[in-house]
Amino acid sequence: MHKMAKSYFVAEVPSLVVKLLLLTVLMATITTTGAQIGVCYGTVANNLPPPREVISMCNQRNIKRMRLYGPNHDVLEALRGSNIELMIGVENERIRDIALNQASADDWVQRNVLTYGNVNFKYIAVGNEIESGPIAQYVGPAIEKIQNAIYRAGFGDRIKVSTAVHPVILQDSYPPSRGSFRQDYRAFLDPIIGILLGNKSPLLLNMYPYFSYIQNRANIDLRYALFTYPSVRVQDGEYGYQNLFDAILDAHYAALEKVGGGSLKIVVSETGWPSAGGDGQVTTQENARIYNSNVIRHVKGGTPRRPGGPIETYLFAMFNENLKHGDPTENNFGLFYPNKSPVYSTNFN
């Protein structure tokens, strides 16, 4: 079950490639090479449309990437034969067993990946937002065993295995160049970083400028969180920051550099903005539209610390989910209502 990331980021102070084959294939097949945006398909609700209708919505809206939090077989069936690239999660409760038993990892991969040979798997996320507790020690070994199973199946170059973390792992983050990992997370993170380096896999990061803003309103300008600040807000040596998204991301890159992981790529595995359920001046449909629309545009380029390359990013979430617990905003991150109508206008092209 998905657990919403709560960002503890320290505040700032004062083209789609078209395959030229047969005409019918040309009309029907669009690759995902140019699409940097995906959508998280959460299912903590009892009123969502059938998965086949959801996949049809994605095709109609030009959504070419998807994150699925666990092996939902109805969704996997619906994805068969589609061009949608998939990130699928290994359930947190399965991590220990998989870490201790290669046969368990082999079985998980067989049931949830190899069985669906015509689904376009891209990443396997072993766990979501694991804290530095009892399960943490098993994440690295579970990643290794799932990756072993993937290599044995002949997909080692195509499917990368990682884990999804969130900014609570940072000790320092302002300015971004001071980014560093908390010491109590190092025993958990350092082996994982080594594994990711060895397999050329990315680190997955759930990050929410929204949470950073509401936890630090006195020091963060709302426009800086929404990508609408008119100029550089934070100057960090040679790097100038005009939005909080880049600042959070670069703080993690700086932290990786300090532990020998500077060559790793970060995939933003969740980000979003709630449209209701909180402060009526902040959690509005208009602010959610502004944030997500700007994310879609912004991630075509890099960050001040990592310029040039696009930032692969997954918006949270496809639907408002009525069974999520916690703050009322948790139920209102969706791009769409369960009846498939948009909460606000979003252009994925």
91 is catalytic: no
Nearest-angstrom CA–CA distance, 231 and 30 = 36
- 12, 270, 312, 330: the active-site residue: 270
Active-site entry in 12, 129, 312, 330 = 129
Whether the ω angle into residue 141 lies within 30 degrees of 0, i.e. cis, is no
312 is a catalytic site residue:
no
Q: What is the spatial distance between Cα 25 and Cα 156, in angstroms, rounded to a whole number?
A: 27
First to last CA, the chain: 30
Q: Just list the catalytic residues.
A: 129, 270
